[in-house]
Amino acid sequence: MIVRQLQEAEESGRKIVDPKGNWDSTRMLLKDDNMGFSFHITTIYKGADFQMHYQNHLESVYCMSGKGEVETLDDGKVYPITPGTLYILDKHDKHVLRAFEEMKMACVFNPPLTGKEVHNAEGAYELEAEKIEE
Ligand code: 9YT
């Protein structure tokens, strides 16, 4: 069994900060743990308003705290996000995320991230990013 603590994960280099300033993500469980998914605790900063399109991954996002909304761009639907909301990008949906307050999210990716992914120009993660060395 593997046990990790959020604070220790942050301090050991697992916390990745978005170069565009919208979020940070502590990748607590990654591809080399061999679970078939990765698990991250993500903070979306207040006022963030940005587009993503995970062409190479499926992602589910559970809101633990804060308030915002997610808009799917193909149909223009807007879904409020409050604590307890789970949104599931089951169709690689192109979407915009907006944070009216800082939001704390638990995120799962399939296939798992390798470590240091940040968004490319399309708002996607490449499949083989650099690993986090501990
Ligand atoms: C909700 C979302 O996708 N935020 C961007 C960061 C991502 N969750 C990650 O890399 O953990």
CATH number of the domain within which 26 lies: 2.60.120.10
Q: Are 58 and 110 in contact (CB under 8 A)?
A: yes
Residue 124 domain flag: no
Dihedral of CA atoms 53, 55, 57, 58 in degrees, nearest 10, equals 60
Residue in 17, 52, 122 to alter for ligand 1 test, most ligand atoms within 8 A of Cβ:
52
Residue 7 domain flag: no
pLDDT cut 70: percent of the chain above it: 100
> Mean of the pLDDT values across residues 107-127?
94
Domains in the chain: how many in total? 1
Q: Which residues line ligand 1 (CB under 6 A)?
A: 23, 25, 40, 42, 52, 59, 61, 97, 105, 107
> Mean of the pLDDT values across residues 97-109?
98
Q: What pLDDT shows up at residue 82? A: 98
Amino acid letter for position 70? V
Which pTM value belongs to this model?
A: 0.95
Please enumerate in sequence order all residues whose Cβ is within 8 A of that of 110, keeping only pairs 6 or more positions apart, or say none.
36, 37, 57, 58, 59
Q: What is the largest CA-CA distance in the chain?
A: 43
Cis, bond preceding 83 (omega within 30 deg of 0): no
Range of the domain at 73: 20-110
Q: What pLDDT shows up at residue 113? A: 96
pLDDT digits 0-9 by tens, 32-66: 999 999 999 999 999 999 999 999 999 999 999 99
